[in-house]
Structure 1
Amino acid sequence: MTSAVLARRRSYHVGNVRSQLSSAARGLLESEGASGLSLRAIARRTGVALGTVYYHYADKNALLSGLAVEGFHDLAEAMREATDAREGISGLRAAGLAYLDFVRRRPAVYGLMYEIRDASRRPEVVEAEEAAFAEMVRAVAFDFGGRSPAAPRQVAQAIWACARGIAALAIARGQPGGLDAQTVDEAVRGLEILVANP
């Protein structure tokens, strides 16, 4: 057993093992992609016994779903914080920029989120996406709350679809983290123009 593994085992604590496993899984996802992610690889990286990893994740699908749920929660938090901290900009712009910044910073996680969401439709992943989408609706409501009651949700749906499209293009072109600031800014400004001039 290597000294690095022994050191990790000494740092292991029952209370934080789930977060250690999750952190290792995210690291493997970013460096190796989903194909290089396995319960054994996580056990090796953390120095945690394989049986303990299986205690927290029944199989690889459960692991991937857990990562997708965490990703949607992190996306929701990023949009919530950006919306609450906005100064002199619209809710649409604050949440839209936060969404696309999340894609730029965490492309592998974002790709996994929608791979799991669209392919498996696991209830916990669907619910996590709905919670993130609710933050977009809340942000847009600051700008369009005075219109019909349905307007914030309808505008948020359009933004959600557009943001997914921008992300999909970036990922398909082989540079998922390559969303440059100018492209993001132009996309958000375009959305603002569209929704402000129906």
Structure 2
Amino acid sequence: MDPTPTAAPRGRNPRGKGERLREDIVESALALLDELGDDQALSLRAVARRTNIAATSVYIHFADRNALVLAAMERCHHELVRAVDETERDSEDPVDRLRARTLLLGAWAQEHPGLYRVLHESTVNQSPGMPFRQELADRSTLAVQRCMDAGLAPVDDPALIALDLRAAVHGAVSMRLSQPDLPWPSLEDQVDRFLTRLVGVRLR
């Protein structure tokens, strides 16, 4: 039985507001996915109740659960890209910018473990045709490249170094979520070691 409480019916959207309803549905799905940490546990009826609409209204915008989860994942990725862009604007130093973006992504994963699992471990995550996922990877590569171009990191393959860094941070976050009782150092200290040992930068 779905434990989500039944909400009162929502009024009909004004003409031209269908896109707003679609965004509301995606927002509800994101909140539920963060709570559940499992795309297969998501119910379209639960999403409808969370959005305060009839279940049939969800199908107007999404053919099935996988289509909704995919849209939620895309929204999440775009929001992360915007957040990274904002935090990088606080400094002109390439190393500071790389450190800031890496810490932001790691902290976000710790704050949203359910969404993090869905982004990396969901059934939909194995589907082809998700070009939006490449955007964060490309920006990580660019951040490493800026450090190399400024002479602040040894010249190497920036895409490979960025992949090593992403894998290290992903491992650190995933292990924290699965084994929280281990004597973990601060994520900040761990990221600093990744940056110095994997990227080769010097931190002030």
2:34 pairs with one of 20, 30, 35 = 30
- Kept in 2, the 8 Å contact 1:86–1:94? The answer is no
Query: RMSD between aligned alpha carbons?
Result: 3.0
Structure 2 counterpart of 1:133, which letter? A
Matched, 1:65 2:70: yes
CA displacement at 1:86 relative to structure 2: 2.6
Question: Pick from 21, 46, 50: which aligns with 2:51?
Answer: 46
CA distance in 1, matches of 2:114, 2:6: 30
Structure 1 or 2: more helix by fraction: 1
- Return the match for 1:167 from 173, 178, 186: 173
Q: Does the C-alpha gap of structure 1 residues 129 and 3 become closer, same or farther in structure 2, counting only changes over 3 Å?
A: closer
- Select which of 131, 134, 155 maps to 1:130: 134
TM-fit CA distance, 1:110: 1.3
* Matched positions, count: 188
CA drift at 1:53: 0.4
CA contact (8 A) 1:65 1:116 kept: no
Q: Could you tell me which runs of 5 or more consecutive residues in structure 2 were left unpaired when the two chains were aligned.
A: none
Amino acid in structure 2 at the alignment position of 1:183: S
Aligned pair 1:114/2:120, yes or no?
yes
Q: SS of 1:90's equivalent? A: helix
* CA separation of 1:49 and 1:94: change in aligned 2, threshold 3 A: same
Other-structure match for 2:91: 86
Cα separation, 1, equivalents of 2:6 and 2:121: 37
TM-score (norm 2): 0.77
Q: Which amino acid aligns with 1:56?
A: H
Percent of residue pairs bearing the same amino acid type: 24
Q: Distance in 2 between matches of 1:81 and 1:152?
A: 22
Change (3 A) 1:3 1:188: closer
Distance 1:3 1:75 in 2: 31
Rounded Cα–Cα distance in structure 1 between residues aligned with 2:194 and 2:99: 9
Task: Note the residue ranges of structure 1 that are not aligned, 5 or more in a row.
Answer: none
Query: TM (normalized to structure 1)?
Result: 0.80
Partner Cα distance (2:111, 2:21) in 1? 25
**Structure 1 residue 169: Cα displacement:** 0.6
Say whether the 8 Å CA contact 2:110–2:177 is kept in structure 1: no
CA separation of 1:27/1:118 partners in 2, compared to 1, >3 Å: closer, same or farther? closer
Q: Counterparts of 2:6 and 2:57 in 1: how far apart (Å)?
A: 20
1:95 maps onto 2:92 in alignment: no
1:9–1:167: structure 2 CA closer, same or farther, 3 Å change rule? farther
**Aligned residue number for residue 139 of structure 1:** 143
